[in-house]
Amino acid sequence: MKTTLNKIYKALTGRLAKNIYLWLFLGYVVFDMNYNNEHRYHHGIIYSPWYYWFIITGFLLQMTLVYVNNLWLCPRYLHARRYGRYTLYVSLLVFVISLAYTIGVKIAGMHFDVDHVQQAGFVTSPVTKGWAFEDLLTDMQTYTFGNASWLFIFTMAWYMQDYARQRRAAEQAEKKQVEAELNFLKNQINPHFLFNTLNNLYGLALKHSENAPGAILKLSSILRYLLYESNTPMVSFEKEKEIMQAYIELELLRITDSKGLHFSVSADRSDYSIPPLLWMPVLENLFKHGTRIITNDMRGDFKFAIADNKLTISSTNNYKGAVQINGSKREGGIGLANLTKRLDLLYPKKYKIEQRKDDQDYSIEVKIDL
């Protein structure tokens, strides 16, 4: 039943239906104007059987003019930018239709008072009774101008529709391209994370650590998320928070002294939806560089916060080396570079990344207008 209703709705709102509505409306306007004129002036035109044939023939010529142009000349020549050929054929079309219309007016005038009829093209003009070619050219001047005006209006309508169609096609192609690039970037991040985590699990297994089973379960939940849930454009904040905490706990298993590491994940409300895994390159970078240095002063601060539709991801850690997102040195790997590319696609001109480093510390702050 629902499928049938959808088909009926599409039929009633489709392109063909809209064209039918247009011509029915124009026909109603013409007949209504002639009916009112008859009741006001009593010309007697609507009582002639030739009146209806004349109006219907006029509409058929108008429709021929419009659809030959919009369905053949415009797509074949105007769309292909063959303007010279289009101008030639459309001029010939207007001439032929105007000539046929003028002949129809002359024939109808032999049977009733056609000069008082509101015609199909909304252009009226008295015609002579002569049938010489010069008489026809003179009589058809007004109709030629009227038909050219009608054709211009419908050509503009076709052009706007064609432009809108090309714009939609371009937007769909761009959307597919963006989705493909985002998936490519996410696929680059995920193996990078898996490689690091398996190394951690390998270390736990060598030590026969009792934490290994729990770590495997955490890894299993993260991998399930990466495979089945992170392929959507948006995920809930609560789910991201759960995976972030599992990731942090998994990384902390290999660190004997983590008192200098601090992590904060918060939001001013729980119903936010955000792109998945934006936090991973920043957090990955903190663990990779902030915990690999042999020091008694291991420090690392990570913050993921959403407030007033603004997302802030920041971290600070003690660090040796240089990490540049847009520069040539990228000891931090592909993660931070991919983050910039993802944000360029997801939030163009709506994000800001700031990095600071000195001999002791490295910090990064990402701000995004959601």
- In this structure, the answer to whether residues 18 and 142 fall within a common structural domain is yes
Separation of CA 23 from chain center: 32
Are 151 and 17 part of one and the same domain?
A: yes
Please report the pLDDT score of residue 67 as a whole number: 92
Quick one: what percent of the chain has pLDDT higher than 70?
86
Q: Which of 112, 144, 169 is the last residue of a domain?
A: 169
Q: Please check whether residue 6 lies inside any domain of the structure.
A: yes
The answer to whether residues 110 and 254 belong to one domain is no
Assess if residue 185 is contained within a domain: no
Residues 139 and 251 in one domain: no
Range of the domain at 360: 210-369
pLDDT of res. 329: 44
Residue 252 placed within a domain: yes
163 plus 79 within the same structural domain:
yes
Q: Which of 110, 140, 169 is the last residue of a domain?
A: 169
Do 232 and 155 have their domain in common?
no
The answer to the question of residue 189 being in a domain is: no
- The pLDDT score that the predictor gives to residue 294 is 46
- Domain of 347: which CATH number? 3.30.565.10
pTM for the full predicted model:
0.50
The residue type of 369 is D
For residue 207, the model assigns a pLDDT of 77
pLDDT bin (cut points 50, 70, 90) of residue 323 is very low
Strand 235-236 vs strand 273-274: parallel, antiparallel, or unpaired?
antiparallel
pLDDT band (50, 70, 90) for residue 325: very low
What pLDDT does 299 receive? 77
Q: Does the residue 102 lie in any domain?
A: yes
Count of domains forming the chain: 2
DSSP one-letter string for 88-149: HHHHHHHHHHHHHHHHHHHHHHTTS-GGG---TTS------S--SHHHHHHHTHHHHHHHHH
Question: Do 32 and 135 belong together in one domain?
Answer: yes
Residues 14 and 87 reside in one and the same domain = yes
Whether residue 121 sits in one domain with residue 18: yes
Dump pLDDT digits (tens) for 6-60.
788 787 878 888 888 888 888 888 888 888 887 776 777 888 888 888 888 889 9
Which residues touch 68 (CB under 8 Å, ≥6 apart)? 93
Residue 222 in any domain: the answer is yes
**Mean predicted confidence (pLDDT) in 65-87:** 89
353 within some domain: yes
Tokens of 224: 């399930």
Same structural domain for residues 228 and 111?
no
Do 346 and 248 belong together in one domain? yes
Note whether 136 and 113 are within 8 A (CB).
Answer: no
Residues 354 and 248 both lie in one domain: yes
Residue where one domain finishes, among candidates 136, 169, 202? 169
Q: Which residues pair with 351 in a beta bridge?
A: 368
Cα–Cα distance measured from residue 264 to residue 280, given in angstroms and rounded to the nearest whole number:
14
pLDDT category at 328 given cuts 50, 70, 90 is very low
Confidence check: pLDDT of 126 > 50:
yes
